[in-house]
């Protein structure tokens, strides 16, 4: 069953111009409640994923879910039912209501996480104190990118996934080229370099990355269509011929129930 915006959440991005930090704001007007958390860095996200013992790769929603669920637990009665299953339902509803700018941020954060955890980062790296003195990198053309590395193996959302755009793919190639040269920079240092390099690229290069983005998008659409054609999972512990209780379970003896979140 699809969870939408029935709970009337408003989720948007807010930036503090003084500290230059970005925050996620969630409003629940009907109950006059709100959530707020800082958009995490790639390294903080990597540490969080490890602390939760979650296997990589993950998708954008998984990162959002961890941040949002943590904010809900720390809040003062943001939701009345604080069981884990209800918290997860709430994070899904908030994600579905979130502005596209937030999903773009988490999509970028997810790609940063993949780059951060890339095996190519192993070994001795050169750390530059002044990245502005470094010349822009000329990437090889055509790009040697396997689109399978850009596609998530499993779709966990109730909406069609958002595939990376041409600039995100270009950014990934740029970061991997830096790592191949054993150059270690913070993501905040890399982003301006990538943006400047992208602006200088000729139209033929940008067209090739757009072609790659379209190929990934077609792959996602095909995966989504296949997923929608699959029948919904029917729990072996529920007998539709018998009356059910408030939890939707058949009345009578139940040996055990497994809940996967």
pLDDT tens, 205-251? 889 888 888 888 887 777 767 766 665 544 444 445 555 454 444 44
Quick one: pLDDT at residue 149? 64
Q: Is the peptide bond before 142 cis (omega within 30 degrees of 0)?
A: yes
| Residue 68 belongs to a domain | yes
pLDDT tens digits for range 39-91: 988 888 888 888 888 887 788 899 999 999 999 999 878 888 889 999 999 99
Tokens of 77: 């009665």
Question: In the chain, how many domains are there?
Answer: 2
Residues paired with 23 in a beta bridge: 14, 38
Quick one: pLDDT at residue 68? 94
| Segments forming the whole domain that contains residue 95 | 1-117
| Residue 253 belongs to a domain | no
Whether residue 113 is found in the same domain as residue 133: no
Whether residue 139 is found in the same domain as residue 200: yes
- Angle at the Cα of 144 (from 140 to 149), degrees rounded to 5? 140
| Residue 248 belongs to a domain | no
Window from 104-118, 127-141, 187-201 with minimum mean pLDDT: 127-141
| Residue 109 belongs to a domain | yes
Whether residue 171 is found in the same domain as residue 85: no
pLDDT tens digits for range 151-200: 665 555 555 556 678 888 888 888 888 877 777 777 777 788 888 888 88
| Residue 256 belongs to a domain | no
Whether residue 91 is found in the same domain as residue 13: yes
Whether residue 127 is found in the same domain as residue 109: no
Provide the whole-model pTM. 0.49
Whether residue 224 is found in the same domain as residue 165: yes
Whether residue 82 is found in the same domain as residue 180: no
């Amino acid at each position: 069953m699809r969870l939408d915006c029935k709970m009337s959440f408003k989720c948007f991005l807010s930036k503090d111009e003084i500290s230059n930090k970005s925050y996620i704001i969630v409003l629940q007007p009907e109950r006059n409640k709100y959530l707020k958390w800082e958009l995490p860095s790639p390294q903080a996200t990597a540490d969080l994923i490890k602390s939760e013992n979650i296997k990589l790769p993950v998708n954008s929603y998984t990162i959002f879910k961890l941040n949002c669920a943590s904010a809900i637990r720390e809040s003062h009665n943001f939701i009345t039912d604080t069981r884990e299953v209800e918290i997860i339902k709430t994070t899904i509803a908030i994600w579905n209501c979130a502005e596209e700018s937030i999903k773009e941020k988490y999509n970028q954060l997810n790609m940063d996480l993949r780059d951060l955890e890339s095996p190519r980062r192993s070994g001795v790296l050169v750390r530059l104190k002044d990245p502005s003195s470094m010349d822009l990198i000329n990437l090889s053309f055509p790009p040697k990118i396997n689109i399978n590395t850009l596609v998530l193996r499993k779709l966990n959302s109730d909406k069609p996934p958002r595939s990376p755009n041409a600039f995100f793919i270009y950014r990934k190639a740029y970061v991997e080229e830096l790592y191949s040269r054993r150059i270690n920079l913070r993501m905040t240092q890399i982003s301006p370099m990538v943006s400047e390099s992208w602006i200088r690229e000729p139209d033929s290069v940008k067209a090739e990355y757009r072609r790659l983005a379209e190929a990934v998008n077609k792959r996602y659409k095909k995966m989504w269509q296949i997923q929608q054609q699959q029948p919904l999972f029917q729990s072996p512990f529920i007998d539709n011929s018998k009356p059910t209780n408030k939890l939707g379970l058949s009345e009578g003896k139940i040996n055990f129930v497994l809940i996967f979140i």
